[in-house]
Amino acid sequence: MPLPFTPLLVFIRDNARWLSAGFLLTLFSSFGQTFFIGLAGNDLRATFDLSGGEFGALYMAATLASAASLPFLGRTLDLMPGWKVVCFSMPMLALACVAMTLAPNVATLAIALYLLRLFGQGMMTEIAFTEIGRWFVASRGLAMSLVVPGQPAGSAVLPVLVVLIAGWSGTWHVGWWLSAAVIMLVGLPLIATLMRVERVPNATEVKSQEDHATRDWTRAEVLRDPVLYMLLVGLLAPPFIGTVIFFHQGYLTELRGYSPLAFAGAFPVMSAATVLFGFVCGWLIDRFGALRLLPFFLGPLMLASLCVALVTPVWGVYVFMLLLGVSNGFTGTLMGALWPEVYGTKNLGGIRAIIVAAMVLSTAIGPGLTGVLIDMGVPLPQQMLGMAVWCIVASLMLAAASRKVRARQMTPA
């Protein structure tokens, strides 16, 4: 009698090349994620004599610029194979890591942050989700749940490594130099090689695609679709709120009296929860569809926001990081599987670039806006109460959007 997990093992075995490529892409996106950049936040502020608000504004400007660039750069995934996009994106990410340590002034620092956000958080995630969305149909949710853990794996390992390397070397620069070396010597050749072979869906998947076909929207049609903006009200909450927490981790540890290592030690808790609930979400997507999950996925994020606002002992860090991991697991898998279900796959690269740009925009506004409010005397815990309310309102919007999309899919074109 076959074991219950045998089909999963067979799926992984048969698709190891493409799943590994997607996992590594999300893993290497860590070098442009806020949690990684935030580890050097206090050192950068001290080096350039920046207040929390000033550094937040600089980070916001760099991220806004990357969000504006991403729709144009992401369109390359509709024009050339994904492995070729990797071959120019990853060297730029490595260059940005080095530029962070060599920046002689604030202007150069802004350019380094721009490149990190564009080619790290932006393009690595864009390539992974676009290619997985095209390669898989019937098991898209499962495939996404196996790819998304790359980023939480990075958040589980990198913060502790960076803290230890900085303590051993006496400077934060060494961790960034090693990051650039790993990107170029390990990540680039491995990912490009894995992606050189395109995955061809089998007959069962083709039949599933025909049975659940969604017409292929153009980018212009998507931008005119009111449902897009209803969806974004909710889908931008996780990147906004998560970025705020990670970016202000130094501020929060000082405010509450936590040790930096205690906060870094909570990242594995978040990562484990992200992986576990990513699998749960993938199973739910393949069974019920991404649209039906929309009204419910912000619940854990709402609870995490309340925990940051109201729980002050150090154990509260582990509780809100656990809840944030549950939210990330649902969000990452859902975001990867949702857009092909809503807008089709033919122009997925360009459409996803718009979505990712909006997400990057939210991560730009978050640190800048909250940093200004902190400078004005509004503490972060108080701001988190407002973010919990946002999650509740957004859930109602997502429920309405889900009904609209499912209704128009049942209506003949």
Which pair of structure tokens corresponds to residue 128? 């992974």
How confident is the model over 388-402, as pLDDT tens digits? Answer: 999 999 999 999 988
Identity at 169, one-letter amino acid code: S
Give me the sign of the Cα torsion angle 361, 389, 305, 42.
positive
Distance, in Å, from the CA atom of 373 to the CA atom of 205, rounded to the nearest integer, reads 50
The total number of residues written for the chain in this structure:
413
**Spatial contact of 93 and 119, defined as CB atoms under 8 Å apart:** yes
Find out whether 304 and 355 touch, Cβ atoms under 8 Å: no
Q: DSSP for 226-256, please give it.
A: HHHHHHHHHHTHHHHHHHHHHHTHHHHHHHH
CA distances (Å), 23 to each of 16, 84, 147, in order? 10, 18, 4
Beta strands in 21-88 (DSSP E): none
Give the chain's count of helices (H) and strands (E). 24, 0
Domain 16-409 indexed as CATH 1.20.1250.20: yes
Q: Write down the pLDDT at residue 205.
A: 55
**Paired tokens of 156:** 């589980």
Residue 192 tokens read as 């490009």
Residues 62, 125, 351, 333: is their CA dihedral positive or negative?
Answer: negative
As a whole number of angstroms, the distance between CA 359 and CA 240 comes to 8
pLDDT for the residue numbered 3: 43
Give the HSE-up count for residue 239: Cα atoms under 13 Å, Cβ half-sphere.
23
List per-residue pLDDT tens for the chain, 413 residues long: 344 456 778 888 888 899 999 999 999 999 998 788 888 877 888 888 888 778 878 888 888 888 888 888 888 888 888 899 999 999 999 999 999 889 889 999 999 999 999 999 889 988 998 888 788 877 777 888 888 888 878 877 888 888 888 888 888 888 899 999 999 999 999 999 999 988 876 655 554 554 455 677 777 888 888 889 989 888 889 889 988 887 787 778 777 877 767 777 787 888 788 888 888 888 888 788 778 888 888 999 999 999 888 888 888 888 988 998 898 888 877 877 788 778 877 777 778 778 877 887 787 788 778 888 888 888 888 899 999 999 999 999 999 988 888 888 776 55
Give the whole-angstrom CA distance, residue 409 versus residue 141: 19
Side-chain-side CA neighbours of 378 within 13 Å: the count stands at 12
What's the confidence (pLDDT) of residue 211?
47
pLDDT at residue 346 in the model: 73
Domain borders along the chain are 16-409
| pTM score | 0.73
